[in-house]
């Protein structure tokens, strides 16, 4: 059961009514309507606090009204996959092509589609963090859990904001009056400090006990907080602290790798033991809770064919064979490409679908498409496949990276790395490998393990190789990348015009 999705639907109406009442002022009638939800009548008990915390999640996954562009199941991949070196977009909308080819400006609607949901999540989390300590009738344990969830959502929202935008405002309390409606952008280190603080607090407040409880799927847990805290330290290049955090998560024995890699790619075994945090989608309840991943980026004639996987990525999957001499099985789970064993919907082979096995023929995404359960993905935008925001294999590779940078290719770092490769019968790393060479093989392994999972753009950026990749004609061509302009998104122009205290990113 996708708990978050089903519960969000139950609480949306009451939260919308409450938010509307928060925006009202000076009502000319002094008589109170007993059927109206108000700030005074809300926050009375545990149920109210629970509903509000669920609304914090809904800002990122519920797609209707002002947040129809909900981040994770919809447009987030446009910033992290379609814009990276993994994929070449060919979409029949100017705003989409401008994003993919680095010609967008601050008026491009995609910028707002990405920006707005994070701020909605932050606002709702700020209200929760302020109000939950005062709500009567909640046990200490439950109060900690609810606080931890709000702290986690705020910390994760700021994490993505500071990685997609150069400078952003830092807002940690709900605005009291008009004077607080125009917050300034702040220095990046202040935002990073808040991310660390929020995720540290979330780690202290959240429980590991319910991590595998099916009735709570989609909610933040201790493991999600620890994993994202380690990731924040990794991005800050505090290698030792990052490695320590990841090791704590690994040693907890709460998580493990699933036996079948493909279980991370579809909706047949979601929220499994490898999952640390998933953005829940469920097209059976309503299109508003569905993901666009099934439709966008899929194979020609079977889904919305808005582009193709870059050839270098296909070549990378084919460079190394398993111990048994076969192609890395992750290639067939991740890609649809010209090979006799590559299958589309209904078990149709690539050759049966397109009449060719020419190595130069286009490749498409298979991961996150409904290849295993539907005849095609042409029926609207609906997909019920969850976005795996963080899974255990990612933690193992991040640990190997942090440990290698801190202490070199230690046995512990190699063991974590080998654990990922053992699942797909790939050979272990040479135990005599140098630190520099191990760094490169870890980076390559992240491509093989995590392609199409929203990591690549930010990996390239934190490694400082965006410019190198996009200016290499052997990798890809036709993207007009300028490191001084395109490393970060501009703040939406509508916000710049509304708030004079915002500092626009350079050259926009």
Query: What's the rounded Cα separation, in Å, for the pair 281 and 51?
Result: 19
Tokens matching residue 439: 């760094």
The closest alpha carbon to 354, from 363, 50, 442, belongs to 363
pLDDT at position 2: 54
CA pair distance 508, 506, nearest whole angstrom: 6
- pLDDT, tens only, 215-241: 788 899 999 999 999 999 999 999 999
Q: Can you tell me which residue has the tokens 């602290």?
A: 241
Both structure tokens of 55: 């609304």
Tokens 């111990």 -> residue: 323
Strand pairing partners for 296?
304
CB 319, CB 427: distance < 8 Å: no
Helix (H/G/I), strand (E/B), else coil: 26: coil
Is the separation of the CB atoms in 131 and 204 below 8 Å? Answer: no
State the chain's mean pLDDT as an integer: 87
Return the residue matching tokens 């925006």: 23
Report the Cα 139 to chain-centroid distance in Å.
32
CA distance 222 to 202: 7
Range list of H helices, 132-171: 140-164
Query: Which positions of the chain have pLDDT values less than 70?
Result: 1-37, 39, 62-74, 209-213, 282-296, 379-382, 477-478
pLDDT at position 213 is 65
| CA–CA dist 171, 186 (Å, integer) | 10
pLDDT of residue 16: 47
Domain boundaries, the chain: 3-287
DSSP for 29-91, please give it. Answer: --SPPTTS--TTTSS-SHHHHHHHHHHHHHHHH--SGGGTT-IIIIIHHHHHTTTSTTEEE--
Query: Contact 349/340 with Cβ under 8 angstroms?
Result: yes
3-287 belongs to CATH 1.25.40.390: yes
Please count the other Cβ atoms lying within 10 Å of the Cβ belonging to residue 484.
8
d(C-alpha 359, C-alpha 374), whole Å: 27
Residue 74 to residue 247: CA distance in whole angstroms = 32
pLDDT of residue 34: 55
Write down the residue that tokens 């910033």 correspond to: 79
Burial of residue 165 (number of CB atoms within 10 Å: 0-12, 13-18, 19+): buried
Enter the tokens of residue 386.
């969850």
Residue 188's pLDDT is what? 98
Calculated CA dihedral for residues 426, 427, 432, 437, nearest 10 degrees: -30
Give the count of beta carbons closer than 10 Å to the beta carbon of residue 387.
21
Question: How does DSSP classify residue 170?
Answer: -
Read off the tokens for 342: 């590559």
**Residue 34 token pair:** 């007993």
Buried b vs exposed e over 174-202: b needs ≥16 C-beta within 10 Å? beeeeeeeeeebeeeeebbebbbebbbbb
């Amino acid at each position: 059961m996708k708990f978050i999705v089903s519960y969000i639907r139950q609480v949306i109406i009451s939260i919308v009514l409450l938010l509307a009442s928060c925006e009202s002022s000076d009502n000319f009638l002094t008589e109170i309507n007993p059927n109206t939800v108000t700030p005074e009548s809300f926050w009375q008990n545990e149920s109210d606090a629970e509903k509000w915390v669920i609304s914090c999640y809904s800002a990122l996954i519920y797609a209707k009204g002002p947040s129809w562009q909900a981040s994770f199941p919809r447009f987030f991949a446009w910033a992290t996959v379609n814009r990276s070196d993994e994929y070449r977009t060919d979409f029949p909308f100017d705003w989409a092509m401008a994003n993919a080819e680095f010609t967008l400006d601050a008026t491009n609607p995609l910028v707002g589609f990405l920006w707005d949901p994070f701020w909605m999540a932050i606002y709702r989390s700020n209200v929760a963090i302020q109000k939950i300590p005062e709500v009567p009738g909640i046990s200490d344990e439950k109060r900690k859990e609810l606080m931890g969830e709000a702290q986690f959502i705020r910390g994760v929202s700021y994490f993505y904001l500071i990685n997609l935008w150069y400078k952003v405002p830092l807002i940690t309390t709900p605005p009291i009056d008009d004077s607080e409606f125009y917050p300034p952008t702040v220095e990046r280190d202040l935002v990073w400090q808040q991310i660390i603080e929020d995720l540290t607090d979330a780690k202290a407040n959240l429980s590991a006990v319910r991590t595998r409880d099916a009735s709570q799927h989609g909610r933040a847990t201790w493991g999600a907080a620890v994993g994202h805290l380690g990731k924040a330290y990794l991005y800050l290049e505090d290698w030792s602290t990052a490695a320590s955090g990841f090791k704590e998560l690994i040693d907890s024995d709460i998580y493990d790798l699933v036996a079948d890699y493909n279980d991370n790619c579809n909706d047949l075994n979601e929220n499994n033991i490898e999952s640390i945090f998933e953005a829940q989608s469920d097209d059976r309840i309503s299109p508003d809770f569905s993901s666009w991943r099934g439709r966008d980026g899929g194979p020609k004639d079977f889904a919305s064919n808005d582009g193709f996987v870059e050839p270098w990525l296909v070549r990378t999957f084919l460079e190394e064979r398993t111990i048994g001499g076969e192609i890395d099985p992750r290639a067939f789970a991740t890609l649809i490409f010209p090979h006799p064993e590559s299958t589309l919907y209904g078990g149709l082979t690539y050759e049966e679908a397109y009449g060719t096995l020419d190595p130069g023929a286009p490749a498409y995404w298979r991961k996150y498409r409904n290849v295993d359960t539907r005849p095609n993905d042409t029926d609207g935008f609906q997909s019920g496949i969850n976005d795996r925001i963080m899974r255990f294999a990612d933690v193992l590779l991040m640990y190997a990276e942090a440990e290698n940078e801190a202490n070199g290719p230690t046995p512990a770092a190699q063991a974590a790395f080998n654990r990922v490769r053992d699942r797909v019968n790939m050979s272990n790393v040479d135990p005599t490998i140098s630190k520099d060479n191990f760094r490169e093989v870890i980076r390559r392994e992240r491509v093989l393990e995590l392609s199409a999972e929203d990591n690549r753009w930010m990996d390239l950026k934190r490694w400082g190789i965006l410019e190198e990749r996009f200016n290499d004609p052997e990798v890809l061509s036709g993207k007009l990348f300028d490191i001084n302009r395109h490393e970060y998104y501009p703040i939406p122009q509508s916000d710049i015009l509304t708030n004079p205290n915002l500092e626009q990113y350079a050259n926009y």
